[in-house]
Amino acid sequence: METNPSRGYEFDLMTKSLRWSEILRQKIVGESYSVKRTRKREYHRIRTWNKAFVVRVSKIQRHPEVVLRMPRSAQIMWARGFIDAEGSVTMNGGGQPMISIYNEQPRKLRIIESILRESGVCVHYYKHKDRDVWQQYITGRKNLVRFLKKIGLDHSDKREKLTTMLVF
């Protein structure tokens, strides 16, 4: 994301999922945007040049704590978007479904934890000693079902994968 006024304001995001790019495009209602498939890799690039939108997102990136002062619905939307973008749905070593969210900034993960905790969702942490990335993870079938009901996932591929894992 670029907020240099001399170069313009640009929000630029890459995703593998065309379906998720469509959801993101809908959430940027009223904004000028483009979604194009990249030539070299199977990614879709979402871009918008709306100054107000870029400034708002940039402020949250620099000071994510502002999310906790937003209405509850906005907090959930932010946490859901963060998990959609930075999370993965896998099986843990015991063969149980799990959502993992990765980030180098533990403060962002603590904000997500606070939002999820208010919905009764428990999270755990792991940091490999040789990496600078923290892993926040959600396990337990009841906990994951609660997460889906109260927070949810907009990323349809991840939501479908988790739902399928929880059925069996």
Residue, of 119 and 81, whose pLDDT is higher: 119
Instruction: Give CA–CA dist 28/20, Å, rounded.
Output: 13
pLDDT for the residue numbered 27: 65
pLDDT for the residue numbered 14: 73
Looking at the fold, whether 159 and 110 belong to one and the same domain comes out as yes
Task: Give the amino acid at 149.
Answer: K
Whole-model pTM: value is 0.79
Residue, of 134 and 35, whose pLDDT is higher: 134
Instruction: Give CA–CA dist 13/133, Å, rounded.
Output: 21
Looking at the fold, whether 15 and 49 belong to one and the same domain comes out as yes
Nearest residue to 9 (alpha-carbon basis) of 48, 44, 65: 48
37: left (phi over 0), alpha (psi -120 to 50) or beta: beta
Containing structural domain, residue 23: 11-62
Q: How many C-beta atoms lie closer than 10 Å to residue 104's C-beta?
A: 10
State both tokens at 12.
């630029």
Residue, of 46 and 59, whose pLDDT is higher: 59
| pLDDT tens digits, 21-57 | 666 666 664 556 666 777 777 777 777 777 887 888 8
pLDDT for the residue numbered 24: 66
User: Is 88 a member of any domain?
Assistant: yes
Instruction: Give CA–CA dist 167/160, Å, rounded.
Output: 11
pLDDT for the residue numbered 161: 95
Looking at the fold, whether 52 and 98 belong to one and the same domain comes out as no
Instruction: Give CA–CA dist 16/50, Å, rounded.
Output: 23
Burial class (CB in 10 A: 0-12, 13-18, 19+), 39: exposed
pLDDT tier for residue 108 given thresholds of 50, 70 and 90: very high
Looking at the fold, whether 144 and 90 belong to one and the same domain comes out as yes
Whether 116 and 147 have beta carbons less than 8 Å apart is answered as yes
Sheet of 33-37, strands arranged across? 11-15, 44-48, 33-37
Average pLDDT over residues 7-32: 67
Looking at the fold, whether 58 and 68 belong to one and the same domain comes out as no
Which positions ≥6 away from 71 have C-beta within 8 Å?
none
Number of domains in the chain: 2
User: Is 47 a member of any domain?
Assistant: yes
